[in-house]
Chains A and B, each alone.
Chain A
Amino acid sequence: MVLSTAEKSYIYDSLAGENSTRTDSRKNNEFRPLKAVCSFVPNCNGSSRVYNPDGIECITSVKAKVIRTKELSDLINVDVDVEGQRDNSTLCLSLSAMIQRALVNNFDFEVLRLTDKYYFQLYVDILVLSVPGDFKNSSYTLYSLLSLISMGTYLALKSAKLPLLTSTTNDREIEEEPSFADDWELATDLIPAESKFQPMLIFVVGLVGSNVLVDPSLDEEEVLESGLCIGYCQGNIVAPIQSVALSTADGKAFNRKLLTKALETVKQIGQPVVEALESILNTEVDEYGSFF
């Protein structure tokens, strides 16, 4: 969808003013309602499905494998696949790289450690479906998906289950490969409930005039002056903090004060988002029960 000049100026004027009114009448710090389920793919350790009212859907799966390594940054592999985009397109590659780097930098590798030599390696595969059909000839980009993808990754990682380790861990120097229980009923959580560690989230905010908009919708993206992605982990702002091009239309430089405002906004919204995600994790999933 390319907006007409009149629409653009209408939306821009509504957003940039002192009392901004967004086109869908949200407040500046509100998200659109999301839908999410987790652990619905049977052959993965953890999975999630999140979709927003634009219809864009993000399916994430986490698979684990035991490897022998010392290099901790190898332990997480992220692959993003966007419908209608080639695997080696800039969008897919940069989304994968950003999510991977963000996860590696803010991960508690203790939860992946089996012995001193063996670790779980995680493969996080992300599939983005139902990209709007007119994406090719529109001026918005899909970098705002970072936020949706990171919520999907959060849910998938938190819902991931690993088989129970049966071999001894007393001697961490042992050479033989770890062995696991066959019974999936005994599976343990990848991130144990008592662990304080939470996977990180990435929020995308739009900057326009003197306002910071959370979760910009596609038509808002076309008029934004610039966009930022900001990492959030356990109550703190973390890397990446960088600007992302939310639209190919000409942007503007932004005021330094606006960056502080954006960071404050993310700090504010982080906790409610985490709580909402946790409540999804706690809902019993009975995806198949209703059909069989």
Chain B
Amino acid sequence: MIISISVPSKPEASDTKAGSSVVTPGELITDDPTWMRGHGTYFLNDKTYSSVAGTVLKVNKLLSVVPFKGRYSPETGDHLVGRIIDVGQKRWKVDIGGEHDAVLMLGSVNLPGGILRRKSESDELQMRNFLKEGDLLNAEVQSLFSDGSASLHTRSLKYGKLRNGVFVAVPSKLIVRAKNHSHDLPGNVSIILGVNGYCWIYKTPLSSAADHSASTAKTNAELSSAASGNYQPGQGSVSITRLEQESSWDIYSDKNDALSASIKDTISRYKNCLLSLSQCNIGINEIRLVRAYEISLGYGDTNLLFREEVRQSIGEDVIAQEKMRGAG
């Protein structure tokens, strides 16, 4: 099929139930002045109106409206994917899909040479060699400013520049907050589901696959060495040694590894699954994504998956499976 053109679907007329908590901008929520007014509301002549389209949330005496759609608002500790849009004085400006651009200070990144290195003027001058406009990175929100904009940091080995994959943006509302936002998926592919809705699907790095066995081997070795009694200082401090080993210039490299056609195919399959879930407005987490992937394998060739009806039916299948198996 070369092209499909369809008539846009009309909004379905639904029966508005009495007491439905869905409100539209400008709709009167209450004329009782005792309510405290939270986000998404405004107050005019002792009456509270909604300023966004969403559902009404009442907590004790606090009245707020949770919008259906909207820009991401960062919170401390969120794992994000962002794109550098500007290089400035000792800081990068990062697009995170929020109301404000986030900042990443030169002081909050790992520089080649390890954690104990001091930042010098030459680092300031060569900031573009680390991260330049357009570069994608994953980071954590370190703190928030009073206007709601975020300050990021990448001071961990799991954060940093992104390579070997594709970028997908979905609405941030759909990402289910979880303990962990980076996952290794079946098919030798990993994903970072940024809380801001920006996702990165990439080839699972070799070290991460080998990591598991290596770390168990190491603990065994440590155990045996501990048993034999010759303990060396700094033996248990794996992270610092690894950081020093790995934070060479490689962490800021722009070169992709060699990627086989099958890995690329799997990546684009996952991308389509992610977009299917997003098209059907299903909250996205690792389990659902893997289920969508398994379902999509049943549809055969990857290049059928960009079709709208296929995406719709993948989404429906995920929901149906979840109902059958339970959410677990």
Contacts and interface: CB of A to CB of B under 8 A. Distances in A.
Contacts of A193: none
Contacts of B134: 2-5
Interface string A120-157: 00000000000000100100000000000001000000
Given A6-B256, A37-B8, A276 B166 contact: no
Interface stretch (A28-36, A61-69, A97-105): A28-36
A262 B28 CA distance: 58
Interface residues of B, number: 41
Given A2-B133, A9-B256, A33 B307 contact: yes
Interface of B: 1-8, 10, 13, 83, 85, 95, 133-136, 161-167, 254-256, 259, 261, 264-265, 268-269, 271-272, 302-303, 305-308
B2 A272 contact: yes
A229 B259 CA distance: 32
Nearest to B265: A21
A272 B135 contact: no
B268 A36 contact: no
Interface stretch (A85-93, A180-188, A233-241, A277-285): A277-285
Contacts of A23: 166, 268, 271
Contacts, number: 121
25 contacts: A2-B85, A2-B133, A3-B134, A4-B136, A6-B162, A6-B255, A6-B256, A7-B136, A10-B165, A10-B166, A10-B256, A10-B259, A21-B264, A24-B271, A25-B269, A25-B272, A30-B303, A35-B8, A36-B6, A36-B7, A37-B8, A269-B2, A273-B3, A285-B7, A290-B13
Interface string A263-292: 000001100110011011001010000100
A24 B268 contact: yes
A168 interface: no
A19 interface: yes
B272 A24 contact: yes
Interface of A: 1-7, 9-11, 13-14, 17, 19, 21-27, 29-37, 50-51, 134, 137, 151, 214, 268-269, 272-273, 276-277, 279-280, 283, 285, 290
